Amino acid sequence: MKRLGLIVLACALALSALWAQSPANPRLKLATTTSTEQSGLLSAILPAFEKETGYKVDVIAVGTGASLKIGEKGDCDVVLVHARALEDAFMAAGFGADRKDVMYNDFVVLGPASDPAGMSKAKTALDAFALIAKAQAGFVSRGDNSGTDVKEKEIWKAAALAPKGVAWYKEAGQGMSQVIVMAEQMGAYTLADRATWLAMKDKSKLAILNQGDKILFNPYGIITVSPAKWPQSNYAGALALMNWITGPRGQALISAYKIGGEQCFYLY
């Protein structure tokens, strides 16, 4: 009888713990850049968050610009993106309630192994882009106001070049993996985030032809959508994800995530 009582007590405590961690609103919408999904990172870390907190995350994977637009309309609860200038503008306009740094990696310039622009001569990313323009070699741009697209436009501007509208410059309006495929098919160059490239490289004939320049730094941030603007947002869930992903558990999982033994993202 005593043993039965202990079993009943244990079950009651277990159910009590489960109820205690069950959020009032368990559905959470995350708008995020394609790189976090296509690299496989979200599939690696979100199940742990869901198990540990009771939330269920619905992922909307688009470019950074589109993710922030979704947040502006109140159609998501939290955004995970990588274009600091756009993030700061989002916060300044009052669309975001909180922002935290999450992780970083870098961008790489990809191209065909034949390297028609002579990229091997380039010491910096600006030199690399100038050589592409000089050779009028094909270049495929995301063209979607994503974090990668914003960075690419920044590099062209810093190199005092404006290729938009010329025959060799193509704007795809597509995600990173699709653009890598297009660049390979066209024998063209492109700018890619390292994580998506690591996930794609075994399927592609492109190669990294320029990397390591400080302008190619790629930081990621997480922002909760403002409940003041959008009272229906799941602010509690957004804050839970923000604190988890920037806390010890989330950071450990991000640091441990690798593709083919190579690090995808780094911690601050």
pLDDT tens sequence across 160-210 = 999 999 999 999 999 999 999 999 999 999 999 999 999 999 999 999 999
Burial of 173 (0-12, 13-18, 19+ CB in 10 A): middle
Residue 9: inside a domain: no
What is the span of the domain harbouring residue 186? 106-216
Find all residues with CB under 8 Å of 192, minimum gap 6, and list them. Answer: 107, 108, 110, 148, 176, 179, 180, 200
Q: Is the pLDDT of residue 26 over 90?
A: yes
**Is there a single domain that holds both residue 89 and residue 126?**
no
pLDDT band at 21 (very low <50, low <70, confident <90, very high): low
Q: What is the CATH number of the domain that holds 176?
A: 3.40.190.10
Q: What is the pLDDT of residue 3?
A: 55
Which pLDDT score is estimated for 16? 41
Per-residue model confidence (pLDDT) at position 75? 98
- Tell me how many domains the chain contains: 2
> Are residues 150 and 77 part of one domain?
no
For residues 95 and 120, state if they share a domain. no
**What mean pLDDT comes out for the span 216-233?**
98
Q: Which residues, 6 or more positions from 63, have their beta carbon under 8 angstroms from its beta carbon?
A: 33, 34, 142, 144, 145, 146, 147, 148, 149, 175
pLDDT at 18 over 90: no
* Pair (159, 178) in one structural domain: yes
Does residue 20 carry a pLDDT above 70? no
101 with 223, same domain?
yes
